[in-house]
Amino acid sequence: MGWAIALHGGAGDIPRSMPPERREPREAALRHCLQIGVDAIKAGRSPLDVVELVVRELEDNPHFNAGRGSVLTSNGTVEMEACVMVGDTKKCGAVSGLTTVKNAVSLARLVMEKTPHIYLGFDGAEQFAREQGVETLDSSHFITPENVERLKQAKEANKVQIDYTQPIQRVEEEEESASLPNGDSQIGTVGCVAVDSSGNLAAATSTGGLVNKMAGRIGDTPIIGAGTYANSLCAISATGKGEAIIRATVGRDVAALMEYKGLSLEKAAAYVVGECAPIGTVGLVAVSANGQVTMPFNTNGMFRACATEDGYTHVGIWQD
Amino acid sequence: MGGWAIAVHGGAGVDPNLPNQRQEQAKQLLTRCLNLGISALRSSHSAIDVVELVRELETDPLFNSGRGSALTAEGTVEMEASIMDGCGRRCGAVSGVTTVKNPISLARLVMDKSPHSYLAFSGAEEFAKQQGVEMVDNDYFITEDNVGMLKLAKEANSILFDYRIPTLGMESSCSAAVENPLQMNGLPISIYAPETVGCVVVDSQGRCAAATSTGGLMNKMAGRIGDSPMIGAGTYAGELCGVSCTGEGEAIIRGTLARDVAAVMEYMGLGLQEAVDYVIKKRLDHGFAGMIAVSSKGEVAYGFNSIGMFRACATEDGFMEVAIWE
């Protein structure tokens, strides 16, 4: 038993050759967010509060594909989505198609707490945001020069890009890396899961989606049981290729394996990541009610960090 | 064992006082759709093609999908649907559709013709235009009946799932239901029957597919998305089974109902009916819902904890049933 927290900044084909000026700010951000989360848990904040504030921090950071720094749709706009879920009640909230809301994860929480619904999208979600008085900004706030360039390259390559952390490769190189059958891949999502020392669990995920995605495209992040899930056994936040995560119902399956087959958190997560989705498509962070944590991925890398009450911490990008 | 099987539904949670004429109309529509599916299966069409017969249920104004959809708080229609092919678990979903005559077919196009698996609102409409699907004005979907229902819902100032369903333990009367709404998510909500429609099929090759379509909740907030387009919640199909759910959307989502049927079959080795019963009994905390399901072995099953579910099912060995009540 004991508390535990884990967070991610996206799984995908993250090249080890990533130059220090790109790697260091991201590592620093992971450490910073982990610290914020740990301090909050130690201060007795609920897991829901903890995952929300960590994901808000990741959204505000332009180096990750969520909130500011979100990748762009084919129209050059941002459409952000997020989801939160609380383990003991399985209450949840989700939003999609946000264009001006500074922190999508917080709006998802408001959907859960202030409406009779679970999921609001697009204009309806933006309208709700205004009614709730959440912070909204002109969409230009979310758009970074890096992502404008990325979109330009994607259009030139005339495809949807899987991995936003590196420039578009030439076609020949593309075939070597994780290939992109239907283009419905999602990387650079951010997420956080937490459990307190009483075993209460929560999960939150947030994203800008896919570079050059069609306007209106929804990925796995706001789909309960796919990119985000929590029940009384565990909490999961997934990242990677949206289509693969949806069809493998990744979040729900980790919990289902624990529940129906009695697997441990680590084994359940390893099974889902290893056997239920193709190589190069998924990574996740998960914690269990008894304070365990696991962060498996079948991609090249996953920006991640975790800490447990007994003092263990880890920040990483590639397989150790 | 083996052989094809098919089931269609028109929603879980039915007014016990529903006039006989309406009950007959519902059964006739379900029978007609079932028979369409049966002929297609006898002509060896694949499961994924057959489930698209949900189009027929959308086009008919009787149930809450396509024409005849429930109305948003603003008096408009926002439809959603999803479809899943057990072979490879490919899927397609749409939400916030306002001018596309058959949302289920648009969901199929998302699956087959786009690089994504879920499109919504103006992006979905844009895709529909590009694909040249049949489009109509939003008015086409709005029926007088539903305009009346919306007014009632607003008067009750609650989300109206189905004003005609009495709350548990009370006399069946409209006013009782409206004056004494149940609580859900801490806010007043009546027991309801959203009359989502769906279809599940296993073909003679043992391939399963599922499809679900709806207009959603009466008086819902604009932009509200429910369980019907959510893979794993309202719709799921895999190697072992195909499932389509209906009922309280929020409870179905929290319970990841459709996926759980398949998960208990896969991970606990339960048979189809056992799995359906298990999920209805154990996965619906404080919620009312129903589902239809087929297995790769040619079985069909259904379950619901609501009062009634409009349904029809048939298997290759000649079994056929069209029913509303327990």
When mean pLDDT is compared over A165-174, A284-293, B170-179, B211-220, the highest value belongs to A284-293
For A216, the closest of B122, B220, B226 (CB atoms) is B122
Cα–Cα distance between A114 and A66 in angstroms, integer?
23
pLDDT of residue A161 exceeding 60: no
Spell out which residues of chain A touch residue B231, defining contact as CB-CB under 8 Å.
223, 226, 246-247, 249
CB-based contact B198:B54 (threshold 8 Å): yes
Q: Give A300's pLDDT tier (boundaries 50, 70, 90).
A: very high
Query: For residue B118, which residues of chain A lie inside 8 Å, CB to CB?
Result: 217-219, 223, 246
Check whether B194 has a pLDDT greater than 80: no
Under the banding of pLDDT at 50, 70 and 90, the label for residue A150 is: confident
Q: What's the rounded Cα separation, in Å, for the pair B237 and B204?
A: 16
Find the CB nearest A224 among B187, B224, B256.
B256
Confidence of residue B193 (pLDDT cuts 50, 70, 90): very low
Q: Which residues of A are catalytic?
A: 189
Q: What is the pLDDT of residue A184?
A: 28
Which residue(s) pair with A98 in the sheet?
A80
What is the model's pLDDT at position B157?
Answer: 63
- Residues B142, A30: Cα–Cα separation, whole Å: 50
pLDDT grade, residue A163 (50/70/90)?
Answer: low
Among all residues of chain A, which has the CA nearest to that of B113?
A182
Average per-residue pLDDT for chain A: 91
pLDDT at B128: 98
pLDDT at residue A112 is higher than 90 = yes
Q: Which pLDDT score, from 0 to 100, does residue B217 have?
A: 85
| Most B-contacting residue of A118, A229, A250, A276 (CB-CB within 10 A), to test interface | A118
Cβ distance B117 to A216 less than 8 Å, yes or no, reads: no
Strand order in the sheet with B90-97: B118-120, B90-97, B79-85, B208-214, B197-202, B5-12, B309-315, B320-323
pLDDT digits (tens, 9 = 90+) for A166-219: 554 443 333 333 333 222 233 579 999 999 999 999 999 999 999 999 999 999
Confirm if B104 and B95 have CB atoms less than 8 A apart: no
The predicted model gives B136-149 an average pLDDT of 91
In which band, very low, low, confident or very high, does the pLDDT at B326 lie, cut at 50, 70 and 90? confident
> Who contacts A175 (Cβ-Cβ below 8 Å, separation ≥6)?
none
Indicate the SS3 state at residue A213.
strand
CA–CA separation, B308 vs B301, rounded Å? 15
| A124: confidence class by pLDDT, cuts 50, 70, 90 | very high
Lowest mean pLDDT among A87-101, A254-268, B251-265, B274-288: B274-288
- pLDDT higher at A128 or B177: A128
Percent of chain A whose predicted confidence (pLDDT) is above 90? 83
Q: Hey, which residues does B301 pair with through a beta bridge?
A: B293
CB contact under 8 A, B268 and A91: no
Option in B185, B260, B285 nearest A116 (CB): B185
* Interface check B302 vs A, CB under 8 A: no
Is the CB of A118 less than 8 angstroms away from the CB of B255?
no
What's residue A157's pLDDT?
A: 82
- The answer to whether the Cβ–Cβ distance between B232 and A256 falls below 8 Å is no
Residue B174 has pLDDT above 80, yes or no: no
Average pLDDT over residues B214-243: 95
pLDDT in tens, B86-134: 999 999 999 999 999 999 999 999 999 999 999 999 999 999 999 999 9
Cα–Cα nearest to A182, from A153, A160, A151, A163: A160
- Name the DSSP class of A224: B
More confident call, B240 vs A178: B240
Split at pLDDT 50, 70, 90, the class of A160 is low
CA dist A222 and A52 (Å) reads 15
Is residue A85 within 8 A of residue A191, CB to CB? The reply is no
Inter-axis angle of helices A122-132 and B121-131, nearest 10: 170
Q: Which one, of B306, B291, B294, lies nearest residue B245 by Cα? A: B291
User: A86-90, A150-154, B154-158, B257-261 — which is least confidently predicted?
Assistant: B154-158
Of A183, A213, A224, the CB nearest to B233: A224
Residue B272 has pLDDT above 80, yes or no: yes
Interchain CB contacts (distance < 8 Å): A and B: 167
- In the residue annotation, B72 being an active-site residue is answered as no
Residue numbers in B near A119 (CB within 8 A): 224-226, 230, 253
DSSP state string for B18-80: --HHHHHHHHHHHHHHHHHHHHHHHTT--HHHHHTTHHHHHHSTTSSSSTT---BTTS---EE
Beta-ladder partners of A136: A101
Tokens representing B215 are 């207009």
Give B61 to chain A, closest Cα distance, Å.
Answer: 25
Q: What pLDDT was estimated at residue B288? A: 87
Q: Mean pLDDT in chain B?
A: 88
Please report the pLDDT score of residue A173 as a whole number. Answer: 38
Q: What residues in A contact B223, CB-CB < 8 Å?
A: 120-125, 127-128
Continuous segment of H or E residues that includes residue B11: strand B5-12
β-bridge mates for residue B11, sequence order: B310
pLDDT of residue B167: 39
> Rounded to whole angstroms, how far apart are CA atoms A75 and A83?
24
Q: Which chain A residues contact residue B253 at CB under 8 A?
A: 92, 118-119, 224
Taking contacts as CB-CB distances below 8 angstroms, the residues of chain B near A249 are 231-232, 236, 256, 259, 263
In this predicted structure, which of B54-58, B141-145, B312-316 has the lowest mean pLDDT?
B141-145
Confidence of residue A99 (pLDDT cuts 50, 70, 90): very high
- Nearest CB partner across the interface for A252, out of B118, B124, B256: B256
Asked if the C-beta of B126 comes within 8 angstroms of chain A's C-beta atoms, the answer is yes
Instruction: Give the Cα separation of A303 and A67 in Å (integer).
Output: 17
pLDDT at A13: 87
Q: What is residue B111's predicted lDDT score, i.e. its pLDDT?
A: 97
Strand partners, B201: B6, B209
Give CA angle at B64 (B233, B91), nearest 5°.
Answer: 35
pLDDT-derived band at B19, boundaries 50, 70, 90: confident
Total length of chain B: 326
- The pTM assigned to this predicted structure is 0.91
Q: What was the pLDDT predicted at B186? A: 27
- pLDDT tens-digit map of A268-282: 999 999 999 999 999
* B256–A contact, CB cutoff 8 A: yes
**A304-308, B12-16, B91-95: lowest mean pLDDT where?**
B12-16
In this prediction, residue B285 has a pLDDT band, given cuts at 50, 70 and 90, of confident
Residue B306 has pLDDT above 80, yes or no: yes
Considering only residues 43 to 62 of chain B, which have any Cβ-Cβ distance to chain A shorter than 8 Å?
A: none
Share of chain A above pLDDT 70, in %: 91
Buried b (16+ CB within 10 A) or exposed e, B68-89: bbbbbbeeebbbbbbbbbbbeb
**B273 CA to chain A: closest CA distance, Å?**
17
Closest B-chain CA to A86? B254
Tokens encoding A238: 């997934």
What length is written for chain A? Answer: 320
| Distance set, CA B96 to CA A32, A298, B72 (Å) | 38, 34, 11
CA distance B270 to B322: 26
